[in-house]
Amino acid sequence: MIKKCIYENNTDKKIKLFVKINTLLPKEQRTRMPLFITNDYINKVLYKLEDTHSRQQISENIIKK
Protein backbone atom coordinates (compact mmCIF):
# COMPACT_ATOMS: atom_id res chain seq x y z
CA MET A 1 0.00 0.00 0.00
CA ILE A 2 2.94 2.34 0.69
CA LYS A 3 4.36 1.91 -2.80
CA LYS A 4 0.93 2.40 -4.34
CA CYS A 5 0.61 5.68 -2.47
CA ILE A 6 4.12 6.82 -3.42
CA TYR A 7 3.42 6.29 -7.12
CA GLU A 8 -0.13 7.67 -7.11
CA ASN A 9 -0.31 10.74 -9.36
CA ASN A 10 -3.76 11.90 -8.35
CA THR A 11 -3.26 14.11 -5.28
CA ASP A 12 -6.71 13.45 -3.81
CA LYS A 13 -6.24 9.69 -4.06
CA LYS A 14 -2.74 9.99 -2.66
CA ILE A 15 -3.97 11.89 0.39
CA LYS A 16 -6.77 9.37 0.99
CA LEU A 17 -4.32 6.47 0.78
CA PHE A 18 -1.91 8.26 3.07
CA VAL A 19 -4.61 8.85 5.67
CA LYS A 20 -5.63 5.19 5.45
CA ILE A 21 -2.05 4.02 5.89
CA ASN A 22 -1.61 6.35 8.83
CA THR A 23 -4.73 5.03 10.58
CA LEU A 24 -3.53 1.44 10.17
CA LEU A 25 -0.29 2.15 12.00
CA PRO A 26 0.06 1.66 15.74
CA LYS A 27 -0.65 4.92 17.58
CA GLU A 28 2.99 5.51 18.49
CA GLN A 29 4.01 5.32 14.81
CA ARG A 30 1.28 7.53 13.40
CA THR A 31 2.19 10.83 11.82
CA ARG A 32 0.64 14.03 13.02
CA MET A 33 -0.62 15.50 9.81
CA PRO A 34 -0.27 19.20 9.10
CA LEU A 35 -3.23 21.24 7.93
CA PHE A 36 -1.65 21.64 4.52
CA ILE A 37 -0.44 18.34 3.06
CA THR A 38 1.83 18.33 0.01
CA ASN A 39 2.98 15.48 -2.21
CA ASP A 40 6.52 16.02 -0.97
CA TYR A 41 5.42 15.71 2.65
CA ILE A 42 3.52 12.49 1.96
CA ASN A 43 6.41 10.96 0.01
CA LYS A 44 8.90 11.89 2.71
CA VAL A 45 6.82 10.17 5.41
CA LEU A 46 6.11 7.13 3.22
CA TYR A 47 9.79 6.61 2.39
CA LYS A 48 10.60 6.74 6.10
CA LEU A 49 7.86 4.18 6.82
CA GLU A 50 9.09 1.94 4.05
CA ASP A 51 12.67 2.16 5.33
CA THR A 52 11.59 1.40 8.89
CA HIS A 53 9.53 -1.57 7.72
CA SER A 54 12.44 -2.94 5.68
CA ARG A 55 14.82 -2.66 8.64
CA GLN A 56 12.31 -4.40 10.88
CA GLN A 57 11.97 -7.30 8.42
CA ILE A 58 15.75 -7.66 8.18
CA SER A 59 16.03 -7.76 11.97
CA GLU A 60 13.30 -10.39 12.22
CA ASN A 61 15.04 -12.54 9.59
CA ILE A 62 18.35 -12.31 11.46
CA ILE A 63 16.68 -13.32 14.72
CA LYS A 64 15.02 -16.34 13.05
CA LYS A 65 18.41 -17.65 11.88
**pLDDT, tens only, 2-59:** 889 989 999 999 999 999 999 999 998 898 887 888 889 999 999 998 888 777 777 7
Residue 31 CB neighbours (<10 A): 17
Helix (H) or strand (E) holding 43: helix 39-64
Query: Can you give the pLDDT at residue 64?
Result: 67
- Contact in structure between 53 and 6 (CB atoms under 8 Å): no
Q: Domain range for residue 19? A: 2-64
**What is the rounded distance in angstroms from the CA atom of residue 17 to the CA atom of residue 7?**
11
pTM beyond 0.75: no
Domain count, the chain: 1
